């Protein structure tokens, strides 16, 4: 059985105590940390940049999964060469996507391509041999705490078939609205990495309890 990885997103964490929130994810058994860098142009929100990511690198050993929700991502990737483990860029703003993916790999990082809900799978099909990860947005990107668009799970299943037919070892990640009530369906559709924001960072339970609940829901 494929190992399912939980990637807490700090987008819904308490930014006033961000270092503590990151440590809580590591102590709670997270597999990696998902970092959303937003520029206010590709998406309406603005989050943080390389200075914050550099600071967080000092407080955890978790792998960093960097999500560049930015225009011209190729101009930014070198800023994260010393901190990120995987760098994900959006096909919607990457007209020369294979060149960008190659640049990420030349920095010694895993290269990921992201696809929005309204974007056809055909946009990424030719780039499958060049990716280490495909990220399917199951919400419209820009804000945390949104509800998953359930129809996107069919897209996940189709991308899983595409990866399998190509013999690709790439991870298949879902980002957006993953909760205990739908995480098993995400895995059933073919995802093996789940970005979890408000289902990990919330006022109802601790980070460790929420991660444990998500893992139990996968096995249910």
Mind telling me the catalytic residues? 36, 175
Residue 154 CB contacts under 8 Å (≥ 6 apart), including other chains: 189
Query: What dihedral do alpha carbons 137, 195, 209, 143 form, nearest 10°?
Result: -50
Q: Distances in Å between the alpha carbon of 176 and those of 41, 44, 61, 75, 139?
A: 19, 16, 24, 26, 5
Tokens 């059985």: give the residue.
1
Find tokens 């897209």 and name the residue.
155
Q: Is 45 helix (H, G, I), strand (E, B) or coil?
A: coil
Cα–Cα dist 216/19, whole Å = 26
**Residue whose token pair is 């997270």:** 30
Secondary structure of residue 15 in the 3-state scheme: helix
CA angle 88, 94, 96 (to 5 degrees): 115
Tokens of 24: 């809580």
């Amino acid at each position: 059985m494929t190992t399912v990885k939980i990637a807490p997103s700090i987008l819904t964490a308490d930014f006033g105590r961000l270092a503590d929130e990151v440590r809580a994810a590591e102590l709670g058994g997270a597999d990696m940390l998902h970092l959303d860098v937003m520029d206010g142009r590709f998406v309406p929100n603005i989050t943080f940049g390389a200075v914050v990511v550099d600071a967080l690198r000092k407080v955890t050993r978790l792998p960093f999964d960097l999500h560049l929700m930015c225009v011209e991502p190729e101009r930014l990737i070198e800023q994260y060469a010393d901190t990120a483990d995987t760098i994900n860029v959006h096909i919607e703003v990457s007209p020369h996507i294979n060149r960008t993916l190659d640049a990420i790999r030349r920095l010694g990082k895993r290269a990921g391509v992201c696809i929005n809900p309204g974007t056809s799978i055909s946009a990424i099909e030719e780039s499958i041999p060049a990716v280490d990860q495909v990220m399917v947005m199951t919400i419209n990107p820009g804000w945390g705490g949104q509800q998953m668009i359930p129809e996107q799970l069919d897209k996940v299943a189709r991308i899983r078939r595409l990866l399998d037919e190509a013999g690709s070892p790439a991870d298949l990640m879902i980002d957006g609205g993953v909760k205990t009530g739908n995480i098993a369906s995400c895995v059933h559709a073919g995802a093996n990495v789940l970005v979890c924001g408000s289902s990990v960072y919330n006022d109802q339970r601790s980070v460790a309890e929420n991660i444990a609940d998500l893992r139990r829901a996968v096995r249910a």
